[in-house]
Amino acid sequence: MAPTLYDVKPEVGDLIEIYRGTYQHWAVYVGDGFIVHLAPPSEVVGAGASSMMSVLYEKALVKKEDLWDVVGTNEWKINNSLDEECEPRPAEVIVRDACAMVGKELPYCVFRGNCEHFATELRYGKAESRQVRKAGQTVMVAGAAAFLGLGLVALAGAFFGGGKKENKNEK
């Protein structure tokens, strides 16, 4: 079950990860129940898998919205897991920089400049997207498996059917 207003209280500067089914949407908590996030036109509550249409957009708008309006009925959590690797910037700097971005239209690329890149850059001063990295690793593993699979098919073909071919013109 998704956390409610009474279960968990984010701290200023926390990263909020919202589960949208096939992907996660990310935001920065700026206090008083509000978040700042990079929202492509398809990022709306309840959009589900159709939010994957964000790959088609080249621009996104930085918005300041009520956390609960953006979360809707989706599950979410505070996710500052990069704190183990990176030093978070001071909370007041995160909030100042996040709020200064509100209303700006920024370049958007699901692979190089998505909502997670935006949020992690605000918190750590370094844009990173673990879901893009994870997806890339999955694609690489699938590609390697397909490559190996094709190699095994070729090997099996050579072993089982690779004998001398008959030439129909031979007598």
CB 28 within 8 A of CB 36: yes
3-class SS of residue 106: strand
CB-based contacts of 164, cutoff 8 Å, min separation 6: none
The crossing angle, in degrees rounded to 10, of helices 91-101 and 115-124 is: 140
Catalytic residue annotation: 25, 37, 115
Is the torsion defined by CA of 98, 89, 12, 83 positive or negative? positive
